[in-house]
């Protein structure tokens, strides 16, 4: 029995080391993706050059890391994972507030773009192209982003007794990411299989799954494996996507509008928050304070 426990304990330590290694490689992938954007991206057709070594290496590495993120936790006994979310640390508070502020700025500029587009005829005269489905989904993104903003602020404050509120606004945050994916799909300003759009969609899908996993742990439905799996995948996809878009935009390679730049900044800081949260769950084996007896009785009732 002791040998089994020791083996599982070693397995968990190896898992921690391998997961941290995966995240570190994710940082290197951001450099590869940025190099691909700066050297091999053709803005006129919105694709990478054929045979781009940087783009191919990044794509292969991103797939491998995402697969590892989901497979590695399966080799660790579920009893070794923490059962409740640990208390956030100072770095998570700061990253939550910065993410919320940037998302609020994005919502303001997206709302401005929403009303400036007007109707299709006016947009066509000004050289803009969009569909009514994109117009509708981008408008919903503005409204639903308020839920994710409130969720991030409440997470940073971590006030006791706000779990139900956080669950409601968190669901609105999940819905925001869903409609963000739809808006990306309906956005006709870039081809449907553009590598910039494709990575952004994959990164936002992983962020959506992570937020859903964090929500489940917030309401005491402990699924630490799922939170870690989606958290690592979100980090290794979101961080390179955000960094490469921002560097490409500031260098003039990617002609992004204000709203897209602000959203990329949000993705950057949200990916850092997710990475910090993953490390806290991995390395802080001390769970958050248990609920008061009165709260437990109320939940059972």
* Best CA proximity match to 57, nearest among 88, 36, 38: 36
List, for residues 15-47, the tens digit of each pLDDT value.
Answer: 889 999 999 999 999 999 999 999 999 888 888
List, for residues 217-229, the tens digit of each pLDDT value.
Answer: 777 666 788 889 9
Q: Looking at per-residue confidence, does 131 or 215 come out higher?
A: 215
Tokens representing 169? 């606004």
DSSP structural state of residue 50: T
DSSP string for residues in 76-120: S-GGGS-SSPPPP-HHHHHHHHHHHHHHHHHHHHHHHHHHHH-SH
List, for residues 72-89, the tens digit of each pLDDT value.
Answer: 988 887 777 776 677 777
Average pLDDT of every residue of the chain: 82
Is the pLDDT confidence value at 290 over 50?
no
List, for residues 272-288, the tens digit of each pLDDT value.
Answer: 999 999 998 888 754 44
Is the pLDDT confidence value at 102 over 70?
yes
Whole-model pTM: value is: 0.85
CA distances, 106 to each of 57, 63, 161, 187, 260 (Å): 31, 29, 29, 17, 8
List, for residues 160-207, the tens digit of each pLDDT value.
Answer: 556 778 888 989 999 999 999 999 888 888 888 889 999 999 999 999
**Axis-axis angle for helices 132-157, 163-186 (nearest 10):** 150
Where exactly are the structural domains of the chain? 2-288
For the ranges 41-55, 82-96, 234-248, the maximum mean pLDDT occurs at 234-248
Is the pLDDT confidence value at 14 over 60?
yes
Please classify residue 182 by burial: count the beta carbons closer than 10 Å to its beta carbon, then call 0-12 exposed, 13-18 middle and 19+ buried: middle
- Give dist(CA 166, CA 150) in Å, integer: 8
List, for residues 106-119, the tens digit of each pLDDT value.
Answer: 999 988 887 776 55
- Give dist(CA 54, CA 34) in Å, integer: 9
The confidence score (pLDDT) of residue 156 equals 81
- Give dist(CA 279, CA 16) in Å, integer: 9
Q: How confident is the model at residue 295 (pLDDT cuts 50, 70, 90)?
A: very low
């Amino acid at each position: 029995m002791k040998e089994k426990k020791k083996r599982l304990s070693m397995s968990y330590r190896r898992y921690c080391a391998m997961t941290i290694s995966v995240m570190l490689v994710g940082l290197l992938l951001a450099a590869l993706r940025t190099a691909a954007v700066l050297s091999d991206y053709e803005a006129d057709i919105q694709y990478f050059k054929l045979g781009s070594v940087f783009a191919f290496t990044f794509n292969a590495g991103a797939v491998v890391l995402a697969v590892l993120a989901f497979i590695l936790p399966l080799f660790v006994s579920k009893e070794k994972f923490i059962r409740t979310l640990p208390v956030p640390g100072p770095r998570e508070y700061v990253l939550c507030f910065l993410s919320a502020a940037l998302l609020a700025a994005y919502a303001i500029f997206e709302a401005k773009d929403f009303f400036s587009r007007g109707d299709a005829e006016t947009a066509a005269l000004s050289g803009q192209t969009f569909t009514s489905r994109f117009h509708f989904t981008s408008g919903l993104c503005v409204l639903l982003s308020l839920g994710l903003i409130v969720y991030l602020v409440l997470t940073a404050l971590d006030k006791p007794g706000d779990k139900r509120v956080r669950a409601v606004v968190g669901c609105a945050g999940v819905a925001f990411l869903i409609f963000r994916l739809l808006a990306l799909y309906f956005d006709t300003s870039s081809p449907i299989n553009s590598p910039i759009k494709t990575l952004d969609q994959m990164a936002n899908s992983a962020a959506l799954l992570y937020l859903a996993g964090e929500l489940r742990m917030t309401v005491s439905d402990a699924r630490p494996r799922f939170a870690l799996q989606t958290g690592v995948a979100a980090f290794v996809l979101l961080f390179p996507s955000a960094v490469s878009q921002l560097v490409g935009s500031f260098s003039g390679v990617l002609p992004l509008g204000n709203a897209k730049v602000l959203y990329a900044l949000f993705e950057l800081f949200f990916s850092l928050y997710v990475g910090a949260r993953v490390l806290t769950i991995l390395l802080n084996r001390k769970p958050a304070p248990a609920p008061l007896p009165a709260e437990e009785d109320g939940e059972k009732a």
